[in-house]
Amino acid sequence: MDVYGLIGNPVGHSLSPPMHEAAYEELGIDARYVTFEPPADAGATGVESAATLGVSGLNVTIPFKQDVLDAVEPAPLAERIGAVNTVDFATDPPTGYNTDAVGATRALRDHDVALEGTAVVVGAGGAGRAVAFGLADEGMTVDIANRTEAKAHDLAEEVPDATGHGLDALDELVAAADVLVNCTSVGMKADRSPVPAEALHADLGVLDAVYDPIETRLLRDAAEAGATTVDGAWMLLYQGVEAFERWTGEDAPVEKMNRVLRERL
Ligand code: ATR
């Protein structure tokens, strides 16, 4: 039996185990997906231990996404993002991927949002970093807007074809944009949006990385403006789909994984 898992602290609330185990069941793969919660300073040690124990693959979450870089050979995108959320132990040293970036781009594509033109990424934390690099990799021009403007400028210096802004620039930026992704926590468990509703328009594809609630204020405002909306569960789904496909080499049963994920959200 193959063992996959998630390493994080805390990991108790994770939706990854049911999502991945549904995929194993659907495809008849003899595997389990378990959670590991090492002490907060033991991310790299945890990955090394997993390799020793013969674990096949690990997802990585807070607070270990940077630390585990010391225990893997990062793929080019993960190296540029500076964070790993998926480890494949089929290689020695294990390979570190960042499937958060691809999770966002696949979620948008799946909803027929063309990854062309200009994208506005709101937020310059871990999620904002991954999404900004992911969209730039697709050839988009990226405007990064963040509450702490200096962080947006710092990130924009690393991302090709990107510019940093404060949140006060959002009206103007969003009006001219093709794609908008919220990578802040604004809207999580609260009826708030980081983007002024008046700026939203029908030619926009809007992804909200927040998935609690599923329909955030931003997505409601975007739907009212006639935009194409993509909720955060799609991003969560596709980062898992991408990890599954890296590990097994098989096409993931996306519909089944999506159904199981949404039943639990
Ligand atoms: P994650 O890894 O999920 O991206 P993070 O690294 O803590 O989490 O980043 C949180 C992001 O949400 C940041 O961009 C943060 O802005 P600051 O850099 O200014 O802190 C943003 N954020 C959090 N609360 C916010 C709020 N009330 N208004 C605007 N932005 C907020």
User: pLDDT, tens digit, for every residue of 187-208?
Assistant: 999 999 999 999 999 999 999 9
What are the E-state strand segments in 131-221?
A: 141-145, 162-165, 179-182, 205-208
- In the reported structure, the alpha carbon of residue 124 is separated from the centroid of ligand 1 by a whole-number distance in angstroms of 7
Q: CA separation (Å) from 181 to 135, 138, 199, 216?
A: 10, 15, 14, 13
Best mutation site among 181, 185, 208, 235 for ligand 1 pocket (most ligand atoms within 8 Å of CB): 185
Q: What is the pLDDT along the chain (265 residues), one digit of tens a residue?
A: 999 999 999 998 899 999 999 999 999 999 999 999 999 999 999 999 999 999 999 999 999 999 999 999 999 999 999 999 999 999 999 999 999 999 999 999 999 999 999 999 999 999 999 999 999 999 999 999 999 999 999 999 999 999 999 999 999 999 999 999 999 999 999 999 999 999 999 999 999 999 999 999 999 999 999 999 999 999 999 999 999 999 999 999 999 999 999 999 9
| Atom of ligand 1 minimally distant from the CA of 148 | 19
Which residue, among 88, 84, 66, has the nearest Cα to 76 in the 3D structure? Answer: 84
Question: Which two tokens mark 46?
Answer: 């945890």
Query: What's the predicted TM-score (pTM) here?
Result: 0.96
**Using a 6 Å cutoff on CB, does residue 126 contact ligand 1?**
yes
From the CA of 125, how far away is ligand 1's center (Å)?
Answer: 6
**What is 211-254 written as a DSSP string?**
-SSSS-HHHHHHHHTT-EEE-HHHHHHHHHHHHHHHHHSS---H
| DSSP designation for 11 | -
Q: Cα dihedral angle (57, 62, 63, 68), rounded to 10 degrees?
A: 30
